[in-house]
Each structure stands twice: as C-alpha cells, then as structure tokens.
Amino acid sequence: MRLKKTLIASLLLITALPLVLFASASAITGPANLVIDTQRLQSSVIIRSQMFTSKDCASIENNLTGTGKRSLMRFDVTAANRGTAPLVLGNPIGNPLFTYSSCHRHYHFNGYASYELFRVDPRTNFASPVVVGRKQAFCLEDYERDPSSTGAGSAVYTCSNQGISVGWQDTYGSYLDGQWLDITGIAPGTYWLRVIINPLNVETSPIYNPNAPAAIAIPESNYADNVAVVPVTVPSKGNL
C-alpha cells in the first residue's frame, strides 16, 4: 500500500511540473551525432545559370541576391546520425523553432545549416566570406539509410514528425530550391565552400550560440564532424 501511495504521489508530482516548451526528446533518450558527408558535398558541386522572377519561391524565401539570370553553385548536403540515439524534434506544428513554407508546403527547422564561400581556406586563414548563404531551414527526416550503418531499422521520421534515426541520414539534393550559393558577379577562380550543420552549436560557426532554443533542441555528442570545407572552382561566364 505504501508503494502504491508513493507511486501515485510521484505521478502527481511529475504531472504538476511545468513542461519545458518544445524540449527535444533527444535530450532524454541520449545523444545523437550528426556527421556531414564531405565527399558527397564535394562531388555534387555544380555551377548552373537560371532565370528568376520576384514571384519565384527562391526570391520569396530570400535565397537569391537578385532576380533575372543568376549564377548558382549547387550542392548536396547529407548528414547521417551516427550517435547512440535518434535526433527527435517531433511534430513541428505550433513549434516556434519551425517555419511553415507555403512554397514547399511543409515545415522547416530554422537555421539547421549555414553555407559560406571563401577566397582562402577558412581552416587555416582568418578571412571574411565573399558569399554568405541564407541560414538554411530543413525538413529533417529519415531520407535514406546511412551506407556505413549495418543495423538501421525502418524509417521513423518524416516532415510531419521530424528527426533522424540512428543509421539514417537526411539529404538535401542540389536540385532543390535554396540548395545553393548565389555566386552571380563573383570572379572566376578557386574558392573554398564551407557548410556547417547545427551551426548554433559549433564553436567555429559565425552564429555560435549554444544557449539559443534551436541549439538546445539539437544536442549532440560531438560537433567536430558538423563542418565540411571543400575546394571549388568558379568558372568564367563563358563556361557556365
């Protein structure tokens, strides 16, 4: 009887506690570890020209520096969860960490990735980027199995219940809107592309802020593998 009363009292205490607004379940289940695929990033880089108007989604969502003919450096960004527990964000509806995209018709987690272009290697030289992309918002889901994993289960997470399971990876392909840097007007030559996922938690990120709600929502066991830096070539206009 004492055990039963104690259990009931404990349950009442738990239900009386204030809920932490939009807390990530990954903080309870254990650490995820997102690992960016540097090789895929580099092999996927392509330069393309495309026409845009002010009515295009890319313009509406501020993924361009202007309208008309734009030169775009497109690339894939893939992040696998190689931690010990899933990254869980859950239902995005009503969560201020997400923004609903009327163009894409689903919710994006804000500031999930940052894209920058440098004239020199930012790992060995301090320099300001010559191009800074819009902080990318992603729909995080079990998009494809991590090829390095042998024990991944079935896919769990989707755009309506967001997260990344252990052994799975989320990929944003170069064909998608915003999956680029607008390099219109940039001189031809060799540059360095830097992609950071979960940048609010990465100390080398220009927007490092581990106390921000979006950073707290994505705790990881290791942030060292969240950064990819690859050399890229901007061709002359005649080769676009």
* Residue ranges with strand state E in 150-202: 162-164, 168-172, 180-182, 189-197
Predicted local distance difference test score (pLDDT) of residue 30: 53
Under 8 Å CB-to-CB from 81, ≥6 apart: which residues?
32, 33, 34, 35, 87, 146, 164, 165, 166, 167, 168, 169
Check: CB of residue 176 under 8 Å from CB of residue 198: no
Predicted local distance difference test score (pLDDT) of residue 110: 85
Strand order in the sheet with 77-81: 34-36, 77-81, 168-172, 144-145
Check: CB of residue 100 under 8 Å from CB of residue 175: no
Provide block-wise average pLDDT over 10 residues at a time, the chain (240 residues). 36 35 41 96 96 86 87 96 94 91 79 94 94 81 94 91 96 90 96 96 94 94 96 80
Under 8 Å CB-to-CB from 197, ≥6 apart: which residues?
34, 36, 77, 79, 112, 113, 226
Q: Which two tokens stand for residue 165?
A: 């399971």
Helix (H, G, I), strand (E, B) or coil at 28: helix
Q: Is the whole-model pTM more than 0.95?
A: no
Q: What are the φ and ψ backbone dihedral angles of 108, each rounded to 5 degrees?
A: -115, 140
User: How far apart are alpha carbons 124 and 196 in whole angstroms?
Assistant: 16
- Going by C-alpha positions, the residue among 157, 22, 139, 172 that lies closest to residue 85 is 157
Predicted local distance difference test score (pLDDT) of residue 240: 56
- Going by C-alpha positions, the residue among 231, 235, 4 that lies closest to residue 119 is 231
Predicted local distance difference test score (pLDDT) of residue 164: 96
Distances (CA, A) of 163 to 50, 111, 169, 173, 227: 32, 15, 10, 18, 20
Predicted local distance difference test score (pLDDT) of residue 135: 66
- Going by C-alpha positions, the residue among 122, 135, 121, 119 that lies closest to residue 212 is 135
